[in-house]
Amino acid sequence: MALSYPTRPGDIDHLIADDHAIVERQFQHLEAGRGNRRVLVDQISFELALHAFAEETVLYPDWPEVGMEDEHDDAEHEHQQIKELLVVLGRTEPGEQEFEQALARLMEVVRHHVHDEEDEELPEFRAKAGAERMAELGKQFLAAKRRAPTRPHPHAPDEGLAEHIAGMLAKPLDRVRDMLSGKQKEMATDASGLLDPEAQAIVDAHSSLGPLPFEILEPDQARRQPGPDAAVKKVMAERGIDGPEPVASVDDLRIPDAGGGEQTLRVYTPESGGPGPRPVIMWIHGGGWVLFDIDTYDASCRGLANKTGAIVVSPDYRRAPEAGFPASHDDVLTAYRWVVANAGSFGGDPARVGIGGESVGGTMAAATCLQLAEAGEPLPAAQVCVYPLTTAEQYGDSMDDAADGRPLNRALLSWMAMHAFEGKPEAAKDPRVDLLGVPVERLAALPPTLVITADRDVLRSQGQELARRLEAAGVPTEVRHYDGVMHEFFGAAAVLEKAEDAQQAAARHLTAAFAGTSG
């Protein structure tokens, strides 16, 4: 479910299509009779309220100005129907005749509305308004969501008059939790019923912390929200599990970045390991180039250090939008070269170095190897790519069947790309990002690779496609796929059996490569 024409991640039509895909997948859960019916409908109501408000205050006022009066009137009429149905759903319960009738009608109206927008109205508006206007409106669309109402009302909002809307609809988004009357603790969970119980407990814990949607916030606001590590720590506390996993030492070094400044390199020395210099693993954190830092991925580094007996180092690279592409990639490459040159200073063996990372950390691991190969420099002994982003395109089935996944949904993925590539749309086609576009002969230079993918993850399909292309290029490649888990599961080994298994697989892959390079 994607637009039939090219867009950029921050364009308003791209953002609208992401919202549509999320709600459509939630409708499919309801039709299949799976998941938590009440929570799914509450989440849909929340999403549609924000979406409708943003469209009516940002997009629709432009339509009459370009000769789309009829389309404007039709869209507003459909929004009115949607709001009225959401009010019914809010005051009735699943199983009641009125609820089920309203839900069936809501699906019908929304799907018709989506068809009209995506197939006719948005293409027409783009052709008349131009690409730059779509990007401008995209920023306004997200800003409108930040101040949008979160409960439907059939008589609001009137476009352009948001500041005059009375009552609940006028309250800003930072009061969402009060307005949802206790339901806010369920807004960020995965209500599909497709997660394993252990994974479900983690996303429930994250949601219980009351985060606002990352994908509508400014980057500095989003970074203050609870991350995936906070959810794991909450489950650990509930189960009386001590943490973090102990290692012999954790030290922060200051090393050069690629911009003339410095970055932190965190060094984890494991509790056990053989005598002499130890192997080294550079582990690169995720967060879509925008969110999170080395603290967020602390558990992964500790687990890998103890499971491999290797020293794990993690660079705290610069992030977008403050430092746009390719700053993050350049910092990681600079850090890798520094580690190889200085491994002995912290007890590491420069002849046995591996690389890996999670999400865009996995992307940057592969990109670093490609750059080293291009420069004729020695490559890591092995790489591990955990649910990597391998193309900026909306690639594969997972963009639809996991569009509503948590903690990473399709809208958040676009938000990350929007900020990472701001002012540099060509970056999306850079081979450091578009790994699926790298020719086979270049891929053939990569070291033995383990790719780990998760079922409920929008990046699942593109990670699996990278593995297929590596295999076709003759690279020794292993794929480990985990059903019933989500993006960001890898660091949750303390409370999630499949995360422990994934970390063990990564450890085996790396230690086998180190054994092959020893002596």
Which candidate, 45, 9, 269, places its Cα nearest to that of 154?
A: 45
Tokens representing 185 are 């603790």
Beta bridge partners of 281: 312, 354
The catalytically annotated residue of 398, 457, 461, 509 is 457
SS3 268: strand
Beta bridge partners of 267: 251, 313
Judge contact between 294 and 370, C-beta under 8 A: no
The catalytically annotated residue of 192, 314, 328, 359 is 359
Which segments of 298-409 does DSSP mark as H helices, in order? 298-308, 327-342, 360-374, 398-401
DSSP, res 246: P
SS3 content of the chain, % helix, strand, coil (to 5): 55, 10, 35
Phi-psi region of 166 (alpha: psi -120 to 50; beta: other; left: phi over 0): beta
Q: Burial letters for 406-428: b for 16+ Cβ neighbours within 10 Å, e otherwise?
A: bbbbbbbbbbbbbbbbbeeeebb
- Residues contacting 347, CB < 8 A, separation 6+: 269, 277, 278, 311
Residue ranges with strand state E in 225-328: 249-256, 262-269, 278-284, 311-315
User: How far apart, in whole angstroms, are the C-alpha atoms of residue 348 and residue 344?
Assistant: 5
Which candidate, 430, 404, 13, places its Cα nearest to that of 213?
A: 404
If one counts every other C-beta atom within 10 angstroms of the C-beta of residue 244, the result is 15
User: How far apart, in whole angstroms, are the C-alpha atoms of residue 518 and residue 222?
Assistant: 44
User: How far apart, in whole angstroms, are the C-alpha atoms of residue 83 and residue 156?
Assistant: 9
Q: Return the H-helix or E-strand segment holding 175.
A: none
29 is catalytic: no
User: How far apart, in whole angstroms, are the C-alpha atoms of residue 494 and residue 136?
Assistant: 44
Tokens representing 270 are 């494991």
> 383-386 and 449-456: which strand pairing?
parallel
Which candidate, 144, 122, 159, places its Cα nearest to that of 13?
A: 122
Judge contact between 52 and 117, C-beta under 8 A: no
487 is catalytic: yes
20 is catalytic: no
Tokens representing 145 are 């969501």
Which candidate, 516, 476, 228, places its Cα nearest to that of 353?
A: 516
Residues catalogued as catalytic: 359, 457, 487
